[in-house]
Amino acid sequence: MSKLFKLSICVAFFFMPLFLNAQNGNLKLLDWHPKSQLVVKETKVLKPKYPVIDIHNHLGNLDNTEKYLEEMDKAGVWKCVSLDGKSKDDYYIKHLKVSQSVSKDRFLVFFRPDFSNIDEPNYGEKEAEKLEKAVKMGVRGVKIAKYLGLSLKDKSGKIIPVDDPRIDPIWAKCGELGIPVEIHVSDPKAFFTPVDKYNERYDELGAHPDWSFFGDEFPSKDEILAQRNRVIARHPNTIFIGAHMGTMPEELHTIANWLDVYPNFYVDIDARISDLGRQPYSARKFFIKYQDRILFGTDTPPNAELYQIYYRFLETDDEYFDPAGGLFIQGRWMIYGIYLPDEVLEKVYNKNALKILGMYKG
């Protein structure tokens, strides 16, 4: 046996475990972060073509309010809506005071109803009165979080449906005051399906297991959305903005049907460009057709880098880029830009929001 042959055998035995380990799938999906070898155009969009109104954000960490404004200035964001004006413990008062002290016209605060006392007599009327006082102080909308219809329970132990009649006075008051309801109900379709090998957000749910709403303890996504739609139909004088593309970006034809049926329904794009950007042809057609009903939002405290990803998605025809920007995972896929026409872009960035906010009857 030659020395060269012996050396070859030794080398083979040395590297065999590494080779086998590479082939047997031991790498955890959560640890897999592939780097694309695709060479494509990369457009830097540091500022948007038109001033931006971010209709969906969370600025409840009041110590960071000045920092938020700095990031807005860097990114060309004109106004930013905070959905953290909680009714509970009158937090909205503090939120208004701090936001207005930093800037009187750059921040808007939306009121978040307190459902913890929904069993009390005349709950809806009382909360509606509180909302009216908040609006006189500067609040300009209402925010509904996804727990309504999903997990929030009353004293009977039953989940409170979105169309619970006890809430009707609040919806009606919004219409009377001319302020919108930013409503988030349910979540991505994958969150309501088994967390198995067929789930397209398996790694995301692995990182956040509490985001899974599959099981008998939760209502179905379809039922929650049906509850919301009944509220929209019951209150035609109230504007409803469906957060996260109406929480149905996976089915643009379904959103189109809602927009056709309910003239008081709008959607915003916050935290859903990952879904929109993987269907760029359909998304572009949708944005152009429903250009008067779509609003800009991010759902992430002002961050210039993140805003630039949104601008790139809306303004360019760039291909196969990461929508997360290193901030969080939303599906394991890249997205494509939809290069909207200028007249559509301006409506999405600010005109549609201005129209809705201008309905305030103050």
Q: What is the mean pLDDT of residues 258-280?
A: 97
Rounded to an integer, what distance in angstroms lies between the CA atom of residue 276 and that of residue 310? 11
CATH class, domain 49-357, is alpha beta
Please work out, in degrees rounded to the nearest 5, the angle formed at the alpha carbon of residue 70 by the alpha carbons of 64 and 73: 145
In which band, very low, low, confident or very high, does the pLDDT at 3 lie, cut at 50, 70 and 90?
low
**39-74 pLDDT, tens digit each:** 999 999 999 999 999 999 999 999 999 999 999 999
The pair of three-digit structure tokens given for residue 255, joined into one six-digit string: 């959103």
**Dihedral (CA of 117, 122, 124, 129) sign:** negative
**90-127 pLDDT, tens digit each:** 999 999 999 999 999 999 999 999 999 999 999 999 99
**Contact in structure between 143 and 188 (CB atoms under 8 Å):** no
Query: Is 0.85 topped by the overall pTM?
Result: yes
In which band, very low, low, confident or very high, does the pLDDT at 15 lie, cut at 50, 70 and 90?
very low
Rounded to an integer, what distance in angstroms lies between the CA atom of residue 149 and that of residue 62? 29
In which band, very low, low, confident or very high, does the pLDDT at 32 lie, cut at 50, 70 and 90?
confident
Please work out, in degrees rounded to the nearest 5, the angle formed at the alpha carbon of residue 345 by the alpha carbons of 344 and 348: 90
pLDDT at 327 over 70: no
Rounded to an integer, what distance in angstroms lies between the CA atom of residue 172 and that of residue 169? 5
